[in-house]
Amino acid sequence: MMKLWTNAHLATLAGAQPWGWIEQGALITQGAHIVWVGEADQVPAELRGQITASYDLAGAVITPGLIDCHTHLVYGGLRAKEFEQRLQGASYEEIARAGGGIRSTVSATRAASEDELFEAAAGRLRHLLAEGVTSIEIKSGYGLSLAAERASLRVARRLGEHFDVTVRTSYLAAHALPPEFAGRQDDYVSALCDWMAQLHAEGLIDAVDAFCEGIGFTPAQTRRVFEAAHRLGLPVKLHAEQLSDQGGTQLACEFAALSCDHLEYLSPAGIAAMAASGCVATLLPGAYYFLRETKLPPVQALREAGVSIAISTDHNPGTSPTLSLLLMLNMACTLFRLTPEEALRGVTVNAAKSLGLADRGQLLAGQRADFCVWDVQHPNELAYFFGRNPLRQVVQGGQLRGEAF
C-alpha cells in the first residue's frame, strides 16, 4: 500500500540545504518505509499511479521522528527527597557516597514487581511519545543483580511491544556497586560480565553501557566490561567525563563505542579520539541543569573536530527527571549554545547514529517512515518554545499513530 503525504514543509535533515529544507514537499511511503521524498509537484508518474491513500498535511512542518537516545526509564521510586537535600546544601556526590543516590533507586527497583516497573515506566513513556518520540533507548542499571537487571530489560522490551515505538536496550549493570558487593568491586565486575552473557543469550541486550567515574567504575574496570561486550559482539557506549576527566572516552573509542555521553569534563585528547573513531557525543542538558553543573561540555571543539552531537533527556530519577525531549532542544541551545538545527539533528540523525540505527533520523528514500507533523511555521520553533508542545500527529512505520489498521 503506497501513501502520499503532501502539502508539507519538509525538514529532511538530508542534503546540503540548511535543515534539508523542502518548502513545498511531499513524501511517499510504502509499508514501514519512505520510498520517495521531494517537491510536491515532482512526484514521479510511475509512483503516482500506485498511490492508494493520500494525506493532506495542511502546510505543517514535517521532521523525522524524534529519537531519545539515552534514558534510564525503568526504575522504582523517585528521588524528590534527594532534590530537597541538595537544596539544603548536600552535593550529588556526597549523597551517592552516603548510600543514597543511585543505590536508593536500586532498593526501590528491586522491591518492585515487573508489572509495577512496567506501569511506572509506561506512564513516563507516554509523556515522551506525546512529544513525537518514535525511537528510544532504555538502559538497565537500577537492578544490579542478575534477576533485577533481567526484570528491567524485560520491561524495556515489553514497552517496545506495547507501545508504538522502537526500543533499544542498553545493559548498564556497571552503573553503581550494589551493597552485597561492598568492598569487592572487581568481583562485581566479574559477576556483571557473566550476567551480560546470559541476558544477551535471552535476547535482552542491544548495547552495553558503563559509568566510568570516581563514584562509578574505574577505567580498568570499564575495560573489562567492554572486553566482555566485545566477546559477545555487542556495541558499547559510555557515561564518560560527567563529573571528572577519567579518560573513559579514549578507552571507549578503542572499543569503537557508538557514543560517549555527558562529556562536561572531556579533554582535547578525548575529542581527538572521538573524531578519529566516529563516536557520537551525546550531550545531556537536563542533567547539566538539574545538577547545576557549571562546566560546559566543549561544544565548539567538538564541532571543529567534526564530532556528531546527539541530545537526549537522560531521563532518570536522580539527575534528570525531565520527560520532555523538546525542552532538551531548548536547553541544548540556551545552555550549550547549539543552533536550533544542530539541536534537531541531535534528536534525529545523530541520535540514530548513537544507537547504531542507520535506517532512521532523516527523511530520505529507504529510511523508516517515522515522522512528526508539527503545528509550527519553521522547525526552529521546536527549540525556541519551551513548555509548549506543537505536535499534531506522528507517523510511525508509515502508519498514523492511533489510526486503525
User: From CA 153, how far away is CA 168, in angstroms rounded?
Assistant: 10
- Name the helix (H) or strand (E) containing 18: none
**C-alpha–C-alpha distance, residues 139 and 74, integer Å:** 8
Backbone angles phi, psi at 371, to 5 degrees: -150, 160
The 10 Å Cβ neighbour count of residue 47 is: 14
242, interface contact from ligand NIG, Fe ion, none, CB < 5-8 Å by kind: ligand NIG
Under 8 Å between Cβ of 250 and 238: no
Residues that bind ligand NIG (CB under 6 A): 101-102, 105, 211, 239, 242, 287, 314, 316-320
Near Fe ion by CB under 5 A: residue from 137, 206, 213, 314: 314
* Per-residue binder mask for Fe ion (CB under 5 A), 255-294, x = binder: ----------------------------------------
Cβ(76)–Cβ(116) below 8 Å: yes
Residue owning grid cell 541538595: 86
Q: Which residues contact 360 (CB under 8 A, 6 or more apart)?
A: 64, 65, 67, 134, 135, 166, 352, 367, 368, 370
DSSP labels for 194-223?
A: HHHHHHHHTT--SEEEEBBSTTSB-HHHHH
Query: How many residues sit close enough to Fe ion to count as binding (CB under 5 A)?
Result: 1
Minimum CB separation from ligand NIG for residue 273, in Å? Answer: 20
Q: Which does residue 318 touch among Fe ion, ligand NIG, none (CB within 5 to 8 A, set by kind)? A: ligand NIG
For the CB of residue 341, give the shortest distance to Fe ion in the complex, in Å.
Answer: 25
Q: CB within 8 A of 187, min separation 6: which ones? A: 181
CB of 107 to Fe ion, least distance (A): 19
Question: Considering the complex, what minimum distance in angstroms separates the CB of residue 229 from ligand NIG?
Answer: 18
Nearer to ligand NIG, 29 or 259 (CB): 259
Rounded least distance, CB 96 to ligand NIG, Å: 7
Q: How many CA atoms lie within 13 A of 142 on its CB side?
A: 32
Distance in Å, CB of 273 to Fe ion, minimum = 20
CA distances for 402 relative to 162, 177, 207, angstroms: 13, 42, 30
Nearest CA among 52, 9, 59, 11 for reference residue 28: 52
User: Running DSSP on this structure, what letter comes out for residue 211?
Assistant: B
What are residue 67's DSSP bridge partners? 135
What does 237 bind: ligand NIG, Fe ion, none (CB cut-off 5 to 8 Å by kind)? none
Candidates 268-276, 309-317, 336-344, 387-395: pick the segment binding Fe ion (CB under 5 A): 309-317
Q: Tell me how far, at minimum, the Cβ of 168 lies from ligand NIG, in Å.
A: 16
Q: Which residue is nearest to ligand NIG (CB)?
A: 318
327 binds, among ligand NIG, Fe ion, none (CB under 5 to 8 A by kind): none
Q: Please enumerate in sequence order all residues whose Cβ is within 8 A of that of 58, keeping only pairs 6 or more positions apart, or say none.
A: 7
Q: Which of the listed partners (ligand NIG, Fe ion, none) does 319 bind, with a CB threshold of 5 to 8 Å by partner kind?
A: ligand NIG
Query: With respect to Fe ion, which residue has the nearer C-beta, 66 or 391?
Result: 66
Query: Whose Cβ is closer to Fe ion: residue 131's or residue 314's?
Result: 314
Q: Tell me whether residue 92 or residue 374 sits nearer to Fe ion (CB atom).
A: 92
Angle (nearest 5°) at CA 338 between 335 and 339? 130
Cβ of residue 327: shortest distance to ligand NIG, in angstroms? Answer: 16
Report d(CA 370, CA 136) in Å as an integer: 13
Task: Decide if residue 241 touches Fe ion (CB under 5 A).
Answer: no
Using the rule CB under 5 A, give the single segment among 2-10, 35-43, 215-223, 313-321 that binds Fe ion.
313-321
**133 vs 364, beta carbon nearer Fe ion:** 133
* DSSP structure class, residue 118: H
CB of 107 to ligand NIG, least distance (A): 12
Q: Which is nearer to ligand NIG, 105 or 135 (CB)?
A: 105
Contact set with Fe ion (CB under 5 A): 314
